[in-house]
Amino acid sequence: MFLLVNLKTYRAGTGEDAVAVAEAARDVADETGARVAVAPQAADLRAVAETGVETFAQHVDGVEYGSNTGATHAGAVAGAGVTGTLLNHSERRLRLAEIDASLNAARDASLETVVCANNPAQSAAAAALGPDAVAVEPPELIGTGTPVSKADPDVITDTVGRVREVADVPVLCGAGITSGDDVEAARELGAEGVLVASGVVKAESPRDAMLDLVT
């Protein structure tokens, strides 16, 4: 079971609050044996990584060292203690060539990669590029509290089937995941983990929310 918590730019996911969520995630992982990772804003990557929790960047660019103002360099991210990265989230969409370049940069920096996609066809295309995992998230359900595992379960089963046709890549699912029941439903449909954001970051107790998701 893999729980990846995207802090986005929620106020509760910045600065000291990001560290507090990260510490809670680390403790939940230690207590339950589940794999839990946190993806904070770039400014908080080092501080979050120093808590000992698995830390993912929300994005890296496919650039080398040099004249790339405003880019997020995979090697610099890895140097901050980060172990993985999201790519192509629906709020940070990339062209296919850009996904490929970012994947190559991440591999060169030994970062684990999770490529997001909107639907089964996009998920299969992403899987063909060889990421470590694909996360399917219908954008219309993101942040709604209506889980994809219940609103449109065929999205998960179809994604798992399409991905397996092209590569041996695990499928995660996201969008509207807020409870352990949502996670259980997703896993029964073939997902090997979940990508969540508001269900944890905006919860009264992020720790309790994460415990519910993984137990």
Look up the domain containing 62 and give its range. 2-198+206-214
Q: What is the mean pLDDT of the chain?
A: 93
- Residue 89: what pLDDT? 95
pLDDT in tens, 167-195: 999 999 987 788 888 888 889 989 999 99
Contact yes or no for 117/139 (Cβ under 8 A)? no
CATH number of the domain encompassing residue 19: 3.20.20.70
Q: Which band of pLDDT confidence, cut at 50, 70 and 90, is reported for residue 147?
A: low
Q: Helical H runs in the chain?
A: 15-32, 45-49, 74-79, 96-108, 120-127, 148-151, 153-166, 180-188, 198-201, 206-214
Which position among 54, 91, 137, 192 bears the catalytic label? 137
Quote the pTM value: 0.94
Tally of domains within the chain:
1
pLDDT of residue 80 exceeding 90: yes
- Residue 144: what pLDDT? 61
* 137 given a catalytic annotation: yes
* 59 given a catalytic annotation: no
Residue 139, judged by CB atoms within 10 A of its CB (0-12, 13-18, 19+), counts as middle
Which position among 16, 64, 89, 140 bears the catalytic label? 89
